[in-house]
Amino acid sequence: MKLPDGPKASPRSLSRQFKTDPLGFMDAMSDRYGDIFTIMAGSTPLVIVSNPRGIKQIFTSAKEITASGKLNQGSAPLVGNNGLLMLDGLRHKHRRQLLMPPLHGTRVQAYGQRICQVAEKIMNDLAIAKSFYAYPTVQKITLEVILQALFGLHSGERYEQFRRLLSNLLSFARSPWLGLSLSYPFLRQDLGSLSPWGYWQNLQRQFDKLLYTEIEERRAQADPDRTDVLSELVFAHDETGQPMSNEDVRDLFPSLLLGGQDASATAITWLLYWIHRLRDVRERLLEELDTLGESPDPMRIVALPYLSAVCNEALRIYPTQVVTFPRLVESPIEVMGYELSPGTVVRGSIYLTHQREDLYPQPKEFKPERFLERQYSPYEFLPFGGGARRCPGEVLALFEMKLVLATILSRYQLALFDEKRVEKPKARGVNYPPASGLKMVLLGQLPRQGRSQQLITSST
Ligand code: HEM
């Protein structure tokens, strides 16, 4: 069997290069080896694909290529042994199906007003004429949105308890300590809550206790009006027809929380960067928003074509994840002229596919118009991955991105702190937000009327 060509440096050196400059590394690989290349991880070949034909095979050849959970074992200390990422086959499919109703359609639409209010609440806390970092600010917004969507909580003592605890859990999950502990198992020792691993374990125990209390209360008092994910899961049955246990329900939350908060915050921070860097884009967006008049219905906002194109372009140019989660070749399959044998690991490169000149002319330029001029297939534009592990939060995420951006743009006048600074993505967990956290300044708040005119005048 001949594998696609690839770099010969040691896995350690390649991993270091990737960590230092992930996108530069990917660009260099694609310049040298083209659409498909192999990186040897010890004796296991990892094949990276960025050609839509190959991507389609990875997502659709369900018999030959599976979304094996064991490939994600490295994340088990973070998301648990039975989280969505660790599952595969029937159990994985079934759990995903349970998540679909509360994360789609009218259920998500019901959160529209709330998302706009949350964005205003967090932005109103910022001081005028002072600088702030956009990434942690947006994280506060996305944490509140995910608390609403997953647990249906937006005020009260239980909400405050969850908010505080999750905020600590998620900050630790992004810290270098956790990354080190995942790489070096000997660091995973609980030496009391002053030690990093002990602190993390302690937070997890507190989270479990809180979640189990909430689960018990919801089981005892069913409320048919609740539309959140937890309320759906506590009365769901597993793939064998048995009621889901408290542990089964609990296990689904860490991946949802991490995916839900961090990826959305990364995407919205990039949006803020691009629209404050590119005046024409900002003006066109403001004009489009103005066509809706005062206090528009959130459903009309999310249907705006240019706003949708801007969100897509932000997800294209710097996707929140550079590659899909890994897939495993289970039986021989030909991909792009190469016969891949069982045991080979394959990943779609979201970033490199989005950088293809044949699909996206001048790929390093931010040009939302391309999404108005052309329809892309799910194998050409794949910010949410695809196939068996396609992001279950996609609908909520796009809804949230559009509403948060529309709210911020129409109610606040912001500027980049350093307009000349070119932001680069940096890995934080699996996501790639701007390395600096994106320093911005709040110049002022705007009345609800005539906002675009004022913004355009004051920024000239
Ligand atoms: C802009 C925001 C988001 C982006 C760009 C994004 C992107 C992705 C990508 C690329 C994957 C991997 C897909 C694959 O390997 O084929 C993924 C998986 C996942 N995402 Fe998202 N995501 C976002 C928001 C969310 C939200 C809001 C949630 C939760 C409500 C979520 C939960 C998950 C979960 C649980 C998985 C793993 C799915 C599985 O293993 O079956 N994500 N996401």
pLDDT at position 79, please? Answer: 81
Q: How many CB atoms are located within 10 Å of the residue 193 CB?
A: 14
Residue 74 CA to ligand 1 centre (angstroms): 17
Taking alpha carbons only, the member of 119, 456, 113, 457 closest to residue 287 is: 456
Measured in whole angstroms, how far is the alpha carbon of residue 426 from the centre of its chain? 14
Percent residues over pLDDT 90 in the chain: 76
Ligand 1: which atom is nearest the Cα of residue 146?
30
Q: Is 182 helix (H, G, I), strand (E, B) or coil?
A: helix
Q: What single DSSP character describes residue 259?
A: I
Ligand 1: which atom is nearest the Cα of residue 325?
15
Residue 258 CA to ligand 1 centre (angstroms): 9
Q: Which two three-digit tokens encode residue 79?
A: 């998301």
- CB neighbours of 70 closer than 8 A, spacing ≥ 6? 86, 88
256 lines ligand 1 (CB under 6 A): yes
pLDDT at position 1, please? Answer: 65
pLDDT at position 448, please? Answer: 61
Please tell me the residue having the least CA distance from ligand 1 atom 38: 389
Ligand 1: which atom is nearest the Cα of residue 321?
10
C-alpha–C-alpha distance, residues 389 and 372, integer Å: 27
What is the side-by-side strand order in the sheet with 412-416?
131-133, 439-445, 412-416
C-alpha–C-alpha distance, residues 29 and 26, integer Å: 5
pLDDT at position 253, please? Answer: 93
Ligand 1: which atom is nearest the Cα of residue 92?
41
pLDDT, the chain, mean = 92
Q: By the 8 A CB rule, do 119 and 430 touch?
A: no
Length of the chain: 460
pLDDT at position 385, please? Answer: 98
pTM of the model: 0.94
C-alpha–C-alpha distance, residues 407 and 122, integer Å: 11
18 CB-contact burial (10 Å; exposed 0-12 / middle 13-18 / buried 19+): middle
Residue 73 CA to ligand 1 centre (angstroms): 17
C-alpha–C-alpha distance, residues 16 and 13, integer Å: 5
Q: How many CB atoms are located within 10 Å of the residue 293 CB?
A: 10
Q: How many CB atoms are located within 10 Å of the residue 432 CB?
A: 22
Residue 426 CA to ligand 1 centre (angstroms): 18
Residue ranges of the chain whose pLDDT lies below 70: 1, 448-460
Ligand 1: which atom is nearest the Cα of residue 59?
16
Residue 430 CA to ligand 1 centre (angstroms): 10
pLDDT at position 178, please? Answer: 73
- The predicted-structure confidence for 176-233, as pLDDT tens digits, reads as follows 777 777 777 777 777 777 788 888 889 999 999 999 999 999 999 888 888 899 999 9
| Residue linked to tokens 């016969």 | 339
Residue 392 CA to ligand 1 centre (angstroms): 6
Residue 448 CA to ligand 1 centre (angstroms): 34
Please tell me the residue having the least CA distance from ligand 1 atom 39: 389
Residue 200 CA to ligand 1 centre (angstroms): 23
- The predicted-structure confidence for 220-275, as pLDDT tens digits, reads as follows 988 888 889 999 999 999 889 999 999 999 999 998 998 888 999 999 999 999 99
83 lines ligand 1 (CB under 6 A): no
Ligand 1 pocket mutation, candidates 391, 395, 430, criterion most atoms within 8 A of CB: 391
- The predicted-structure confidence for 268-307, as pLDDT tens digits, reads as follows 999 999 999 999 999 999 999 999 988 889 999 999 999 9
Ligand 1 pocket mutation, candidates 141, 384, 401, criterion most atoms within 8 A of CB: 384
Ligand 1: which atom is nearest the Cα of residue 319?
5
383 lines ligand 1 (CB under 6 A): yes
Residue 25 CA to ligand 1 centre (angstroms): 23
pLDDT at position 453, please? Answer: 45
Residue 274 CA to ligand 1 centre (angstroms): 22
Query: What's 11-152+226-458's CATH class?
Result: mainly alpha
